[in-house]
Amino acid sequence: MSEFVDNLTWKSRWVLRRNAILGSPAFQRWASRTPFIRLIARRRAAAQFDMIAGFVYTQILTAFVEAELIPYLQSGLRTVDAIVQFAGLEEDATVRLLKAGQSLKICESPQPGMWTLGEAGAPLSANKGAMAMIRHHHLLYTDLARPLALLGQGRQTETALSAYWTYASKTESDAGAEGYSALMAATQPMVSEQILDAYDFAQHRRILDIGGGSGAFSTAVAASACQLKIGIFDLPGVIAEAEKRLGRDSISADFTLHPGSFKETPIPQGYDLITLVRILHDHDDAVCSALLSKVYAALPYGGRLLVVEPMADTPTAQPMGEAYFGMYLWAMGSGRPRSSQETSAMLRNAGFTTIKPVKTALPIITRAIVAIK
Ligand SMILES: C[S@@+](CC[C@H](N)C(=O)[O-])C[C@H]1O[C@@H](n2cnc3c(N)ncnc32)[C@H](O)[C@@H]1O
């Protein structure tokens, strides 16, 4: 049987024709020399180079973060000598890093010999969560060093990420709870800021946050609507982290901690809102379907489920979904990015009839769907 099909749609014909033209060296030569067209050709060549060099750019940013240069340069203008001292690098290495960072707008030199952050670096200085993720990414890049080997070895093989996210490893445990809970708590403000602006939690009385980690999301919600009673359900090792964290916290909301695995333990009842924040994408379809059915059963009529996570079909941010989360979750060994339609379909299958998107200001960070029983 031929590997080519002959019943092509008009769109397939158009795409094949376009690819033949774009892939032709003669066309590329013509485009790079023709007035106006060459502007488009230059833009496309730059975008192609960025895709090829992306890992190098990322590692330059990582060097700034690991050397603590982001907060250091945010606090004012610094001389090269001072930066050499601070970063602990030789002068030529420091200058090479600064110039590389300048080309990426991480830093800039507004007057000779003096350096501060650039347009891309300055917003990072206020984002501890992003910096925690940049540091964490060495695990992902270890797994991605040979991407074809990663894809070829299947998802049963232990990876750097599956050893970190122990609940996603084949042995499924909470042994890594302290490490990953700290990362989740550091990155949670980016998420809770979006959701608190988009969803009115004050309309509820009792909220259960499933997979609630050490309670960073719950404490943010409690601070915004102080009459709420909040339950946090997570693996026992993570609930121990929540106990430590909430003990230190001055918020007076009434927290109930529920240790257990949602794969085995019944979901606690008596809550009129259940939240799943950055949970579903970590799990394969069968696990998510079983969890959503249990959530549906645990809610009273009129009760709600709020699903909060990045989604695959986010306009202007498609690579965040299928490229970034697609490969990250593949390396982790569990879960996949889902479009809002796919998640909505799962919610319908679990029994929910009213399912609505909740608009967030930065959908690249997080999106949300509310489902009513
Ligand atoms: C990606 S973290 C998200 C944490 C928190 N919701 C947040 O957004 O910061 C996933 C959480 O789900 C929890 N989790 C994973 N599998 C679980 C299970 N079977 N039962 C209960 N919790 C689980 C993990 O322990 C972890 O705290």
Given this model, what pLDDT does residue 2 score?
60
Structure tokens at 366: 């997080």
State which ligand 1 atom lies nearest to the alpha carbon of 187. Answer: 9
Answer yes or no: is pLDDT of 253 > 70. no
Q: Mind listing the pLDDT tens digit for each residue in 94-128? A: 999 999 999 999 999 999 999 999 999 999 999 99
Share of the chain above pLDDT 90, in %: 87
Average pLDDT of the chain, as a whole number:
94
Average pLDDT over residues 350-366: 96
Average pLDDT over residues 312-321: 92
Given this model, what pLDDT does residue 5 score?
77
Average pLDDT over residues 354-360: 97
**CA torsion sign, 194 to 199 to 201 to 207?**
negative
Average pLDDT over residues 360-367: 94
* CB-ligand 1 contact for 278 (6 Å cutoff): yes
Query: 307: closest CA among 268, 338, 330, 351?
Result: 338
Minimum CA distance residue for ligand 1 atom 20: 261
* CB-ligand 1 contact for 310 (6 Å cutoff): no
Given this model, what pLDDT does residue 1 score?
52
Q: How far apart are alpha carbons 166 and 155 in whole angstroms?
A: 14
Banded pLDDT at 180 (limits 50, 70, 90): very high
- Of 230 and 249, the structure prediction assigns the larger pLDDT to 230
Q: What angle do CA 359, 362, 367 make, to 5 degrees?
A: 50
Given this model, what pLDDT does residue 138 score?
97
Q: Mind listing the pLDDT tens digit for each residue in 182-200? A: 999 999 999 999 999 999 9
Given this model, what pLDDT does residue 251 score?
46
Weakest mean pLDDT among 93-107, 187-201, 219-233, 249-263: 249-263
Given this model, what pLDDT does residue 156 score?
85
Answer yes or no: is pLDDT of 170 > 70. yes
Looking from the CA of 362 toward its CB, the CA atoms found within 13 Å total: 10
Q: Are 117 and 125 in contact (CB under 8 A)?
A: yes
Average pLDDT over residues 308-319: 93
Rama region for 275: left / alpha / beta (φ>0; ψ in -120 to 50; rest): beta
Give the pairing type, strands 304-309 and 354-358: unpaired
Answer yes or no: is pLDDT of 4 > 80. no
Distance 274 CA to ligand 1 centre (A): 14
11 Cβ contact partners less than 8 Å away, ≥ 6 residues apart: none
Helices and strands, counts by H and E, the chain: 17, 10
Banded pLDDT at 175 (limits 50, 70, 90): confident
* CB-ligand 1 contact for 282 (6 Å cutoff): yes
Report yes or no for ipTM above 0.95.
yes
Minimum CA distance residue for ligand 1 atom 1: 278
Q: How many CB atoms lie within 10 A of CB 191?
A: 24
Flag whether the pTM goes above 0.90: yes
Q: Mind listing the pLDDT tens digit for each residue in 283-301? A: 999 999 999 999 999 999 9
Average pLDDT over residues 318-347: 96
Share of the chain above pLDDT 70, in %: 98
Q: Mind listing the pLDDT tens digit for each residue in 21-33? A: 999 999 999 999 9
Distance 212 CA to ligand 1 centre (A): 6
The domains found in the chain, sorted by start residue, are 20-126 (1.10.10.10), 128-372 (3.40.50.150)
Q: How far apart are alpha carbons 16 and 313 in whole angstroms?
A: 24
Given this model, what pLDDT does residue 102 score?
98
* CB-ligand 1 contact for 239 (6 Å cutoff): no
Q: Mind listing the pLDDT tens digit for each residue in 38-71? A: 999 999 999 999 999 999 999 999 999 999 999 9
Q: Mind listing the pLDDT tens digit for each residue in 364-373? A: 999 999 999 9
State which ligand 1 atom lies nearest to the alpha carbon of 287. Answer: 19
From residue 233, give the alpha-carbon distance in Å to each of 254, 258, 355.
14, 5, 23
Answer yes or no: is pLDDT of 248 > 70. no
* CB-ligand 1 contact for 237 (6 Å cutoff): no
Give the pairing type, strands 304-309 and 273-277: parallel
From residue 93, give the alpha-carbon distance in Å to each of 60, 159, 288, 351.
12, 32, 48, 60
